[in-house]
Amino acid sequence: MRQEIKRIALLTGGGDCSGLNAVIRAIVKSAILKHKWEVIGFKGGYHGLYMDEYMKLDLQTISGIFHQGGTILKMSNKDNLFKYKVTDENGKEVYKDVSDIAIANLKRHNIDALVIIGGDGTLTSARDFARKGINVVGIPKTIDNDVPATEITFGYRTALDHIMQSLDALHTTAYSHDRVMILEVMGRNAGWLALEGGVAGSADVILIPEIPYDINKVAQTVFDRYNRGSKFTIICISEGAKPVDGDVTIKAIDKDSPDSIRLGGVGDLLAKQLEKIVKPVTGQDIRLTTLGYIQRGGVTNTFDRVLGTKYGSYAVDMIANNEFGRMVIIKNDRMDSVRIEEVVGSGNTGQTSTGGARIVNPHGDLVCSARDIGITFGD
């Protein structure tokens, strides 16, 4: 028998991206206007669920947030309630399963369904709450666009806009100084941001995790351009890119995060290598820009406002239809859903039980088109 819904809760977990507020707004509006449900939001991701920190979400609370990046609920990528860091009676830090406290909070608030918006780590916990009988609906979010089963995540296109605009800006200064300009972008183990951002921003070389690069081939592109009169070169490199004879560059390990490895620094490595190979020949300076968190912030673009609205309203429909333990996806350009069990667990390896993160096909259409117009990939 279908469960009647009166009150739902939502939370945002993991790292932020543009479009989260668009999703929150869509959930609150559809829940209230279409179904007359009440909505609360737990603050700071799972931390708020555990500590019972929440806010009522009504039509006033969500007014004016549509275009804003980030999330009015705030978020964290550290709080795994199934392995939560606490201090024991001897003052020692230990990890404990505190999920029952979160469940008790949900019961106390008479929550009929919980919408969990997050990436792989957050949705892995969503799966675990579903296994414990909570009515969960998941919504994937990431600028990396690497979530399996869904064709596109909100936040990605806004991040691409930042990359494109940065590459546009780098062109004028690179040209003026005859320099080799490197832009390091995010994306974890998937090269989507570097690939699509690089093509849109007219990069000459794009280096992505899916195509390990040979430093001498990268240098050759710089020489070829120089010899035909283009005395500057723009390189867009993904943080997860790796040389053919090496591995990814790790910036930090965050033990408390479900996804502990923080990539970063490969742009610096590349700059140092090119400095040795290119500068003695052409005299060009090599300069690095690491775009960093600018990719995740700012005003949400048209596409992500619309996409966020679709994800949010579909999640509400799923709750109304009691389709729990599932995650909203886009398949063949249409809204759909899959069991959360099938898509989570990619973590640092990029692998899930059913195959793995959505990564770039090195022989796919866009890579081929890029090669056709002379963009090189260091292979």
The residues that touch ligand F6P, with contacts defined as CB under 6 A, are: 15, 77, 119, 142-144, 186-188, 239, 262-263, 296
C-beta of 232: minimal distance to ligand F6P in Å? 27
Write the DSSP string, 288-350: EEE-GGGGG-SBPPHHHHHHHHHHHHHHHHHHHTT--SEEEEEETTEEEEEEHHHH---TTTT
Catalytic choice (144, 161, 204, 259): 144
Beta-carbon contacts of residue 203 (< 8 Å; ≥ 6 apart):
167, 183, 234, 235, 236, 375
Between 143 and 222, name the residue whose CB sits nearer to ligand F6P: 143
The minimum distance between CB 51 and ligand F6P, in angstroms, equals 21
In the complex, the smallest distance separating the C-beta of residue 277 from ligand F6P, rounded to whole angstroms, is 28
**The residue to which tokens 């209230």 are assigned:** 32
By beta-carbon proximity to ligand F6P, the closer residue of 143 and 319 is 143
Give the nearest distance from C-beta 140 to ligand F6P in angstroms: 11
**Which tokens belong to 354?**
């059913």
Tokens 């300069």 belong to which residue? Answer: 287
Q: Which of 213, 204, 153 is nearest to 183 (CA)?
A: 204
**Among residues 273 and 348, whose Cβ is nearest to ligand F6P?**
348
Residue 144 bears catalytic tag: yes
Shortest distance in whole angstroms from residue 59 CB to ligand F6P: 31
The sign of the CA dihedral 261, 156, 287, 375 is: positive
69: CB partners within 8 A, 6+ apart: 16, 17, 18, 20, 21, 158, 296, 297, 298, 299, 300
Task: Find out whether 286 and 97 touch, Cβ atoms under 8 Å.
Answer: no
Nearest distance in Å: CB 145, ligand F6P? 10
Task: Name the residue nearer to ligand F6P (CB basis): 165 or 348.
Answer: 348
Of the pair 116, 318, the CB lying nearest ligand F6P is at 116
Q: Report the alpha-carbon distance of residue 360 to residue 371 in Å, rounded.
A: 15
Which residue has its beta carbon closest to ligand F6P?
Answer: 186
Tell me whether residue 77 or residue 300 sits nearer to ligand F6P (CB atom): 77
The residue among 45, 82, 121, 44 whose CA lies nearest residue 347 is 121
H/E segment holding residue 134: none
Give the shortest CB-125-to-ligand F6P separation in angstroms. 16
Q: Which is nearer to ligand F6P, 254 or 379 (CB)?
A: 254
- Amino acid symbol at 297: G
Q: What's the token pair of residue 241?
A: 């890119």
> CA 349, CA 356: separation in Å to the nearest integer?
8
Tracing tokens 């829940």 back to the chain, one arrives at 31
Choose among 348, 367, 50: nearest CA to 192: 367
Indicate which residues carry an active-site annotation: 144
